[in-house]
């Protein structure tokens, strides 16, 4: 925990001493982990040596089964919901999983978006340097799962000297022509079981792991870095919007929340604080590309980024892998794909208008946005007034959801009270 905290201090404050301390504590942590693993292995071997039958079973496993790759989850049967019939064939299972994870978005009413011409846009250097490509490729973990090209990250890193000029030219062509290559849009998606579920008949008990094209991943990481730098330099997003931003961490978000609560508590007037937490259902599945691109344009983002993003979102294809079989490629045009790192920062642009509307209420209210989780803090001397304020803020969120084809999960609503003396306030007031 201390090494993680030192890493955050170094990233946020650029203190060299913190980086050196982080390396020192990280090495010490790795040594302790290695020693613990070694001691556990020796203990197991000692117990096995006491029983002749067990030692021969262990030898057989080491000789045969330990060399085999782990098998993927086997789906004996599957259904959409509790009232549907069971399906056992591979094609029917594919249809259920595709409907579950790759829903097509309904037609969103975008008539309120007026044609606008933004003459002044943020400057953007469209040229990608070889140093950028080298740094990004070396940053990617070497032994990740193979992608659609069956090229490992380690192989790309080993041949970097020979490929660097070709890759740099390719990425520059993509940015200059504002186009994301069709081959880069193809992915393979593995379906895995969620842990500790009572039954695995319902499709909700499964999750996805995407195997991405390594060169596409490198290009996206470069574009994320460029977009993040522009966002922070030109203050495009509200300070209330967290995650997927430079030097923004979960711990810092919690620190901000604690500081806000204590600031209100330390006032001369005794306030009580209510926090309403909202969660957007399947936020990434229902993003309107038209509204997202409009928000990028209204934030004066460069046309290079806007048009490249438009190309990146269109005509994506993926295949599902389960039951040791692979389905055919299927086009997925509906979402911005939650498993992609670039999706988080794009979603911050998508819901930027909601944060702006909540902050424009000009009442005793604070907003913390963690991608698709929105937390509204309201403080006052009377809980009845707080509930009326939260109702106004919730109405703003509901109107935004209607125009953006989004839905807030009512079953995930949470109302949290912050007070030092609960008996002083009417804590039973409801919204």
**Number of C-alpha atoms within 13 angstroms, CB side, residue 391?**
9
Could you tell me which residue, 247 or 401, shows the higher pLDDT?
A: 401
The answer, yes or no, to whether residue 187 has pLDDT greater than 60, is: yes
C-alpha to C-alpha distance for 134 and 238, rounded to whole angstroms: 32
Q: pLDDT digit string (tens) for 297-316?
A: 888 888 888 899 889 888 88
pLDDT, residue 362, reads: 67
167 band by pLDDT with thresholds 50, 70 and 90: very high
C-alpha to C-alpha distance for 76 and 269, rounded to whole angstroms: 62
Could you tell me which residue, 261 or 4, shows the higher pLDDT?
A: 261
Q: pLDDT digit string (tens) for 201-250?
A: 877 788 888 888 888 888 988 988 888 888 888 888 887 877 666 666 67
Domain segments of the chain as ranges = 2-67, 90-352
C-alpha to C-alpha distance for 95 and 72, rounded to whole angstroms: 19
429 band by pLDDT with thresholds 50, 70 and 90: confident
pLDDT, residue 200, reads: 78
Find out whether 26 and 3 touch, Cβ atoms under 8 Å. Answer: yes
Q: Look at residues 237, 247, 245, 228 and name the one whose alpha carbon lies nearest to residue 349.
A: 237
pTM, two decimals, is 0.75
Mean pLDDT of the chain: 80
C-alpha to C-alpha distance for 217 and 220, rounded to whole angstroms: 5
- Give every CB contact of residue 356 below 8 A, 6+ residues apart in sequence: 238
pLDDT, residue 170, reads: 93
177 band by pLDDT with thresholds 50, 70 and 90: very high
Could you tell me which residue, 253 or 66, shows the higher pLDDT?
A: 253
The answer, yes or no, to whether residue 428 has pLDDT greater than 60, is: yes
Percent of the chain residues topping a pLDDT of 90: 5
């Amino acid at each position: 925990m201390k090494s993680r905290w030192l890493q955050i201090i170094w990233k946020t404050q650029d203190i060299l001493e913190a980086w050196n301390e982080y390396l020192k504590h990280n090495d010490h942590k790795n040594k302790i982990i290695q020693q613990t693993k070694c001691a556990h292995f020796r203990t197991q071997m000692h117990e096995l040596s006491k029983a002749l039958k067990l030692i021969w079973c262990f030898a057989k496993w080491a000789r045969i089964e330990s060399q085999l790759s782990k098998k993927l989850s086997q789906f004996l049967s599957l259904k959409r919901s509790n009232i549907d019939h069971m399906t056992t064939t591979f094609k029917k299972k594919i249809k259920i999983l595709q409907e579950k994870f790759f829903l097509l978005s309904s037609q969103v009413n975008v008539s309120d978006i007026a044609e606008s011409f933004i003459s002044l846009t943020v400057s953007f250097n469209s040229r990608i340097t070889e140093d950028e490509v080298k740094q990004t490729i070396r940053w990617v973990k070497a032994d990740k799962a193979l992608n659609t090209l069956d090229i490992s990250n380690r192989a790309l890193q080993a041949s970097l000297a020979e490929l660097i000029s070709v890759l740099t030219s390719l990425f520059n062509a993509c940015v200059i022509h504002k186009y994301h290559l069709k081959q880069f849009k193809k992915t393979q998606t593995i379906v895995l079981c969620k842990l500790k579920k009572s039954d695995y008949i319902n499709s909700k008990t499964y999750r996805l792991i995407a195997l991405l094209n390594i060169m596409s991943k490198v290009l996206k990481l470069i574009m994320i870095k460029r977009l993040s730098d522009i966002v922070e330099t030109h203050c495009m997003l509200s300070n209330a919007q967290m995650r997927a931003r430079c030097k923004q961490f979960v711990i810092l978000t919690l620190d901000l929340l604690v500081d806000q609560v204590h600031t209100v508590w330390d006032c001369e007037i005794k306030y009580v604080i209510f926090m309403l937490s909202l969660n957007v259902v399947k936020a990434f599945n229902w993003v309107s590309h038209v509204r997202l691109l409009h928000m990028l344009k209204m934030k004066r983002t460069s046309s290079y980024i806007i048009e490249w993003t438009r190309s990146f979102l269109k005509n994506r294809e993926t295949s599902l892998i389960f039951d040791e079989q692979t389905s055919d490629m299927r086009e997925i045009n509906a979402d911005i794909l939650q498993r992609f790192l670039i999706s988080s920062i794009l979603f911050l642009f998508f819901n930027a208008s909601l944060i702006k509307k909540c902050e424009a209420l000009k009442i005793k209210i604070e907003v913390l946005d963690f991608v698709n989780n929105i937390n509204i803090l309201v403080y006052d001397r009377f809980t009845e007034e707080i509930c009326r304020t939260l109702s106004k803020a919730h109405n703003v969120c509901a109107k935004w959801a209607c125009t953006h084809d989004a839905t807030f999960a009512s079953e995930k609503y949470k109302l949290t009270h912050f007070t030092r003396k609960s008996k002083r306030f009417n804590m039973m007031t409801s919204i």
